[in-house]
Structure 1
Amino acid sequence: MLANADHVMPDELKFEGDKAFFFAALDRADLIVHGRNSYEDQPNSPKRRRIIVTRKVGAVARDTENPNATLWNPHGAAFEAARAQAGVHTGTVAIIGGPDVFDMFMDRYDTFFLSQAPRVRLPGGEPCFDGVPARSPEQVLAAHGLKAAESIILDPAFDVSVTAWRRDNASSAARR
């Protein structure tokens, strides 16, 4: 689960090591894609070029509230059109969710970083991917051709870790 039943990430799911890993990855990204409920809420946030997935526009539009944001309706335009509107043609794209956004890119990821906090339980919470909890997040990633690679312990006191799930290079080259 990535949020509680109210679609809010509760404090018990927030760990300093995980936040540091997440923010460092965002600092390296050239573009961030997320849904309307996902936002990283830190001082650098408004400075980052981003695409916000929304049904409020027909296809692609500038966000009048944030000059670094592009609004994108995937039912009205391809991702490449949104990326072009955002002015990002190459580089790293960070997909920070939520579940519908993750699912849109499932067959395009080169790497998906799956953070886990095994001691936290969010009954009735919002799953990270479609099909969870009937299948585990690991099963979903594997079904899309990703394989578990290196893992890092982010908070040893709470067993919080992140695992890089990677697509082999031959498959990645064929998708581009």
Structure 2
Amino acid sequence: MPALRFEGYVIVSGDGMLANAQNVMPDELKFEGDKRFFTAALDRAALIVHGRNSHEDQPNSPKRKRIILTRRVASTEPDPSNPKALLWNPAGIAFEQASERIGVTAGTIAIIGGPAVFDMFMDRYDAFWLSVAVNVRLPGGEPCFPGVGPRTPQQVLRSHGLKPGEAQMLDPADGVSVTPWRRG
């Protein structure tokens, strides 16, 4: 078993968007069942990885170690606003080195976005947890992955060697489910 396990997490609209046209996750994409699922997953993770515009905004957020992708640093630097966070420029240093610098050499790495961050790890995911709110549409929104628009999120995941498992309903009244996509 590898020392680091990579898992992605996102909720998308029925048309594959993770944010609206203003690049904001709208209330229409927030559901209690998905929130509970996501919170529990992040509570189990050794490290959270996301871009500058992504965050989970939860009570336990300040307690979680995280790496924030940015081009504003050469390789890594402590985040001046969060003692549990490390700023990381992938062009300056490998992920494993950044992870080591924040003190995480084993465990689950939770990748929570945005699209470029998801794409960076696409061929490394052990699992990707795709939550879908089938009844929500976000015309002109931000696609969850590069290539979504002409393709669905599911087609993008499949093209990277991930296969769907059994979907689990998170919010049945609203038609929100999560499907684990696993490597081979």
> TM-score, normalized by length of structure 1?
0.94
What residue ranges of structure 1 are gaps of 5+ in the alignment? 169-176
Q: More helix by proportion, 1 or 2?
A: 1
User: 1:55 Cα deviation (Å)?
Assistant: 1.1
- Looking at structure 2, the residues matched to 6 and 73 of structure 1 have their Cα atoms a distance apart, in angstroms, of 25
CA distance in 2 between partners of 1:50 and 1:86 (Å): 8
**CA distance in structure 1 between the aligned counterparts of 2:40 and 2:166, rounded to whole angstroms:** 17
Task: Give the residue type in structure 2 aligned to 1:67.
Answer: P
Amino acid at match of 1:53: L
Out of 100-109 and 37-46, give the one that drifted further.
Answer: 37-46
- Structure 1 counterpart of 2:181, which letter? W
- d(CA) in 1 for partners of 2:85, 2:76: 11
Within 5 Å, give how 1:32-43 maps onto structure 2: 32-43=48-59
| Counterpart pick for 1:65 among 81, 86, 109 | 81
Q: Which runs of 4+ in 1 moved over 4 A?
A: none
Aligned partners of 1:153 and 1:160 also within 8 Å: yes
- Displacement, 1:12? 0.5
Aligned residue for 1:165, secondary structure, equals: strand
Of the candidates 92, 109, 119, which is equivalent to residue 125 of structure 2?
Answer: 109
Unaligned runs of 5+ in 2: 1-16
Deviation at 1:53, TM superposition (A): 0.4
Match for residue 150 of structure 2?
134
Residue 23 (structure 2) pairs with residue 31 (structure 1)? no
Which whole-Å CA distance do the structure 2 matches of 1:149 and 1:74 have between them? 31
TM-score, reference length from structure 2: 0.90
Deviations 1:26-77 (A, max 9, x none): 0000000000111111110011000000111111111111110010011111
The whole-number CA distance in structure 1 between the counterparts of 2:169 and 2:112 is 20
User: How far has the Cα of 1:159 moved from its partner?
Assistant: 0.6
Structure having the higher strand fraction is 2
**Alpha-carbon contact 1:60-1:81 (below 8 Å) kept:** no
Which residue number in structure 1 is paired with residue 13 of structure 2?
Answer: none
Q: Aligned pair count?
A: 168
Matched, 1:51 2:67: yes
Counterpart of 1:128, as a letter, is C
